[in-house]
Structure 1
Amino acid sequence: MTLHSGTYAEVDLTPRVSVILLNWNGYHDTAACLSSLRHLRYGNYEVTVVDNGSTNDSASRLRDNHPWVKLIETGRNLGFAGGCNVGIGYALAHGADFVWLLNNDTVVDGHALQAMVETAQSDPLIGAVGSAIYSMDEPASIQAWGGGYVNFWLGRSRHFLKQVPDHSIEFITGASLLISRAAIESIGLLDEEFFMYWEDADFCFRLRHAKWRLAVAGQSKVWHKSSASVGNKSARMDAYFNASAASFFQKHAPMPTFSTWVGGLLRLTKRAIRGDWERTRAVWAGITQRSTRQAMVGCEMPTEASARSVLR
């Protein structure tokens, strides 16, 4: 493996950071993200791309065109949590102090990682740090200030679209999520019950339950693709989303059944009013399953992981 010239191969007293990207048939997005990472003004990092069972030539193109990246091929689609866990396991085994989960359809500012690490080091109780995430289509428009909150009465979550105090943040979106080694060792990896969607919220709720704090580094600027996610919304995504929502509420809601059904029925009603019966049936399939594995056996992940932030 060839490491970036400013990574683990050098003696560096700054914390070691492993940047983890998940790729599924998304070479062009991943390549653009990698290009932006080359301009990070932080020295002690490496980049790992987990190819999550791509069915096109993504893996070979990444290997040929980006030899400085560590490429791990899973051989099959493990879902978002499963694929990220492969990368996290590799990072911890190779001495990472932090892992940075980053969507492959993002580009980052050169100061993004430095700002996150500085925020993480400002308080030993901070277990995870998020970025100020902007829309790639409207670069000045905030897509998520770090993350958001969950409304158990309405069975849904929402992202903060403007700056808020850290204590208001209930979860940090997995689009840009820096996690300390100590936090991971404290609560474990992402829950692979969540094949896609809600795994970030679940992880952060577990962190907060274990008395870790969440924070947002406002100077960590990340631009996230949004048009593709909107264009690719599908019945399959609805099924994933609602199955994962049901799993989340079963784990964390004061009244799990209430939250599951209120949120699910609101989403179902919206699709029924539009006459979109395929997606209406998909929502029903999701909320009547406790497990995304039960609901989604044999299904593949949608091409754009950016859709994670749209359906909430």
Structure 2
Amino acid sequence: MDNLYVIIVTYNGAKWIHKCLNSIYESTITSTILVVDNNSSDNTVQIIKADYPSVILFEYHKNLGFGKANNIGIGYALRHQADYVYLLNQDAWVEPDTFDTLIKIQKSNTQYGVLSPMQLNAPKDKLDDYFAALSIGKNKDNILSDIYLQKCKEVYEVDFVMAAHWLISKECLMNTGGFSPVFYHYGEDNNFLHRIHFHGYKSGVCPYLIAVHDREDRKRKPNEIFYLKYTSAFLVDFNNINNTLAKAFIKAYANLIIDEVTCMIKYKSLKPLIYICKSIFVFAKSRHNRKTTQNKGPVFLEITE
């Protein structure tokens, strides 16, 4: 039997945590559930302790960010002989057959290091907007045509899929490592997928499987939009090791400057200048990060006892 660890990073997730965890317990296969809490101020931790005593819970007194918190869970899972790790958002949940079928598909398609089900909204009446735009809309094969014509394959290669639902094989983690510490929040999933592609693995979606990502009624705050579009996009471009350093540098800074000047004119705000200045200071750190992530091995993960 495969040893599956489901890792959930929580931060004020009381609204969703019952649906999230209950869906795992209703799965057709047994897994070990590990929650890393990023200093929630609501009753997320209390709910887990009271209602789900079998969950392995790591509590932190500061917000470590999405990537670092997941790295803690991944490292623990690998130390305890995990064959697969499933990264599940706190605002997401799975169907009973999601884990079992994904593992079977991965075993038949071992070149895939990361697999995702089709990610739906909470009512399950349409695809998650970002999933539809960034995964299905930009896939290498025409998955929408195949769905319509009823000739789907069990897995389709995509360049990107959100980390709300990721099955990752042990082999992929041992060769690629965990999330880069350069990314605090946003962009860490792009960077991770760039790296698995560099090391010869594929990322894919499985059209016969569904899961939920409940975020349709939430709008990003202005500061999140600034960070996502400018700082995070810059880091993603610059740290893409599938491009040469020169190409990555030119693309990152060109896009950053063009977008931020446009933003300053459009919104009559000097705030984007802050991100331009910050981007200069992350250059050295990112350059080291690029070199590190080119090495094979579990970088950014502590997997020894």
Structure-1-length-normalised TM-score = 0.75
How much has 1:66 moved relative to structure 2? Answer: 1.8
* Preserved CA contact (<8 Å) 1:137 1:227: no
* Preserved CA contact (<8 Å) 1:20 1:49: yes
How much has 1:141 moved relative to structure 2? Answer: 2.9
> Between Structure 1 and Structure 2, how many residues are aligned?
271
**Counterparts of 1:101 and 1:159, CA distance in 2:** 22
How big is each residue's C-alpha offset from its partner over 1:96-117, in whole Å with a ceiling of 9 and x where there is no partner?
Answer: 1000011111122222112211
**Counterparts of 1:44 and 1:283, CA distance in 2:** 45
How much has 1:274 moved relative to structure 2? Answer: 5.5
Of 91, 94, 97, which residue of structure 2 is paired with 1:105?
91
Partner of 2:193: 204
1:187 partner letter: T
**Counterparts of 1:68 and 1:139, CA distance in 2:** 33
**Counterparts of 2:198 and 2:251, CA distance in 1:** 19
Find out whether 1:127 has 2:113 as its counterpart.
Answer: yes
- Give the 3 Å change call, closer, same or farther, for CA 163–188 of structure 1 in structure 2: same
2:27 partner letter: L
Specify the SS of the correspondent of 1:191: coil
Find out whether 1:56 has 2:42 as its counterpart.
Answer: yes
Q: Sequence identity of aligned pairs in percent?
A: 21
Structure-2-length-normalised TM-score = 0.76
> Greater CA deviation, 273-282 or 245-254?
273-282
**Counterparts of 2:235 and 2:127, CA distance in 1:** 31
2:216 partner letter: S
**Counterparts of 2:224 and 2:133, CA distance in 1:** 27
Greater per-residue helix proportion: 2
- Give the 3 Å change call, closer, same or farther, for CA 167–133 of structure 1 in structure 2: closer
Contiguous gaps of at least 5 residues in structure 2: 145-152, 287-305
1:219 partner letter: Y
**Counterparts of 2:210 and 2:277, CA distance in 1:** 37
Specify the SS of the correspondent of 1:78: coil
> Greater CA deviation, 170-179 or 253-262?
253-262
Of 8, 17, 23, which residue of structure 2 is paired with 1:36?
23
How much has 1:130 moved relative to structure 2? Answer: 1.4
- Give the 3 Å change call, closer, same or farther, for CA 279–227 of structure 1 in structure 2: farther
- Give the 3 Å change call, closer, same or farther, for CA 181–284 of structure 1 in structure 2: same
Partner of 1:256: 248
How much has 1:16 moved relative to structure 2? Answer: 1.4
Specify the SS of the correspondent of 1:227: coil
**Counterparts of 2:57 and 2:205, CA distance in 1:** 29
**Counterparts of 2:188 and 2:274, CA distance in 1:** 20
**Counterparts of 1:269 and 1:236, CA distance in 2:** 18
* Preserved CA contact (<8 Å) 1:103 1:175: yes
* Preserved CA contact (<8 Å) 1:241 1:286: no
Please show how residues 158-307 of structure 1 align to structure 2 within 5 Å: 163=143, 168-230=157-219, 232-239=220-227, 242-252=230-240, 253-254=243-244, 255-265=247-257, 267-268=259-260, 271-272=263-264, 275=267, 277=269, 280=272, 284=276, 287-290=279-282
* Preserved CA contact (<8 Å) 1:171 1:201: yes
Please show how residues 63-142 of structure 1 align to structure 2 within 5 Å: 63-136=49-122, 139-142=125-128
How much has 1:70 moved relative to structure 2? Answer: 1.6
Specify the SS of the correspondent of 1:239: helix
What is the RMSD of the two structures over their aligned residues, measured on CA atoms?
Answer: 3.2
Partner of 2:289: none
**Counterparts of 2:160 and 2:95, CA distance in 1:** 22
How much has 1:62 moved relative to structure 2? Answer: 1.7
- Give the 3 Å change call, closer, same or farther, for CA 191–171 of structure 1 in structure 2: same
* Preserved CA contact (<8 Å) 1:267 1:283: no
**Counterparts of 1:266 and 1:57, CA distance in 2:** 43
Contiguous gaps of at least 5 residues in structure 1: 1-12, 150-157, 295-312
**Counterparts of 1:37 and 1:148, CA distance in 2:** 24
Specify the SS of the correspondent of 2:90: coil
**Counterparts of 2:16 and 2:195, CA distance in 1:** 31
**Counterparts of 2:216 and 2:69, CA distance in 1:** 24
1:139 partner letter: D
Specify the SS of the correspondent of 2:15: helix
